[in-house]
Amino acid sequence: MSDLANYDPDIYNLIEKERLRQVNGLELIASENVVSKSVLEAVGSILTNKYAEGYPGKRYYGGCEFHDQIEDLARNRLCELFGAEHANVQAVSGSQANQAVYFAFMQNGDKMMSQDLAQGGHLSHGSPVNITGKWYSVSHYGVDKETETLDYAQIAEQARKEKPKMIVCGASAYPRTIDFKAFKEIADEVGAYCMADVAHIAGLIAGGQHPTSVGVTDITTTTTHKTLRGPRGGAIMCGSENAVAIDKSVFPGMQGGPLMHVIAGKAVCFREALTPDFKEYAKQIVKNSQAMAEVLISEGLDLVSGGTDNHLILLDLTNLATNGSHLTGLEAENFLGEAGITVNKNTIPREKLSPFVTSGLRIGTPAVTSRGMKEEEMKQIGHWIAAVLKDVCKDKGSKKAITEVRAEVEALASGFTLYPEVR
């Protein structure tokens, strides 16, 4: 018996239940992935015992010589991976990384422009319910009503009118390629800083499946746990001219001691992302997403923007009517969850429901791709999603499709093992 099972069986049993949920189901949340055993080992290491406040060579505690080497490895590998001049790997999350950038270059009340949360943006890009929306004056841009894609000419016109201090690009629910060069040109025209948040697509950029923002925009932020397939955390990349401002903003500006066990896990994931295998993985993520999208369209489901260029699909559920009203994102999430398919409700352009209910569903392929699934499995999953949603639209009390799909999901999952040595 493990030490944890012996000392705290309550926590041990809950972890085991979660392991079984992941093993027996299909994780299709676009912001989640499956880390390697090496990343798990690093994050669960003895490094968690140490305080290492400061930066390599400039710590406020003794005994940090090995932590200095670990952080240097993480920074150097991240720079090599993205061709960055400078990297900060201490941010504990993508949101914290974003806040550090704002704190470095803006004052309270300064104006920023960013993508509207309801149209694909992120909370930390100035949503009124987020601290960034309270600190700064925010002007949001959205997507074109017809194409449901970014209209760069319209964004440029808005920037000329608003004259923001910073323009933020990057999204959490946008299924199309982002033109970072266009954003930088708009920012340059109005004299604004340009920050790209590539949290969702960092792994695709590293794998050559999406144009990079590094060396294009002034600053790039990212998480390390989505398509990059590392531990939960954040990072910032910038040119050498902004390095001092970024580092001071992270520490002592925003954070205290860094999580060195997580930074070690980041270093491992950056090394993994530098391999040819990772490039094939990134390519497969997109192939899988597009294969599933084609099936969903063939099943008569509506996709925001009509398809996908990246790792995620955004379903518009407004045409799935049931008893005079359409199926909500919350309902769809719950029904698919019962079938062993984990997705998340999401707002869509022209959203009329609350963020707690929504009219959309976000689906992503990074985690199932990490398990080794390819196009044929994605097509089957697409048919299962359609079967469940259509069946519950006919009768919300029906469990027929849910029960059938649940059994098939478990059978498929059993053929793509997840940490078989972990019990």
Query: Is 353 annotated in some ligand binding site?
Result: no
* Catalytic member of 232, 266, 362, 371: 232
Question: Which among 63, 99, 90, 64 is positioned nearest to 257, based on CA atoms?
Answer: 90
394 flagged as catalytic? no
* Alpha-carbon span 145 to 57, nearest angstrom: 52
* Catalytic member of 16, 19, 32, 53: 53
* Catalytic member of 12, 16, 19, 51: 51
HEC secondary structure over the chain: CCHHHHHCHHHHHHHHHHHHHHHHCEECCCCCCCCCHHHHHHHCCHHHHCCCCEECCEECCCCCHHHHHHHHHHHHHHHHHHCCCEEECCCCCHHHHHHHHHHHHCCCCCEEEEECHHHCCCHHHCCCCCHHHHHCEEEEECCCCCCCCCCHHHHHHHHHHHCCCEEEECCCCCCCCCCHHHHHHHHHHHCCEEEEECCCCHHHHHCCCCCCCECCECEEEEECCCCCCCCCCEEEEECHHHHHHHHHHHHHHHCCCCCHHHHHHHHHHHHHHCCHHHHHHHHHHHHHHHHHHHHHHHCCCEEHHHCCCCCEEEEECCCCEECCEECCHHHHHHHHHHCCEECEEECCCCCCCCCCCCCEEEEECHHHHHCCCCHHHHHHHHHHHHHHHHHHHHCCCCCHHHHHHHHHHHHHHHCCCCCCCCC
* Catalytic member of 132, 212, 222, 223: 223
Query: Is 354 annotated in some ligand binding site?
Result: yes
CA atoms 67, 32, 310, 198: torsion sign: negative
197 flagged as catalytic? yes
CA atoms 292, 293, 294, 300: torsion sign: positive
* Catalytic member of 226, 229, 266, 362: 226
Strand 26-27 relative to strand 341-342, pairing: parallel
Query: Is 213 annotated in some ligand binding site?
Result: no
Query: Is 175 annotated in some ligand binding site?
Result: no
Query: Is 210 annotated in some ligand binding site?
Result: no
Query: Is 200 annotated in some ligand binding site?
Result: no
* Alpha-carbon span 113 to 49, nearest angstrom: 41
Angle at 253 between CA 249 and CA 257, to 5 degrees: 105
Query: Is 355 annotated in some ligand binding site?
Result: yes
* Alpha-carbon span 12 to 19, nearest angstrom: 10
* Catalytic member of 197, 309, 331, 351: 197
53 flagged as catalytic? yes
The catalytic site residues sit at 51, 53, 197, 223, 226, 232
- Residues making up the binding site for (6S)-5,6,7,8-tetrahydrofolate: 117, 121-123, 354-356
Residues making up the annotated binding site are 117, 121-123, 354-356
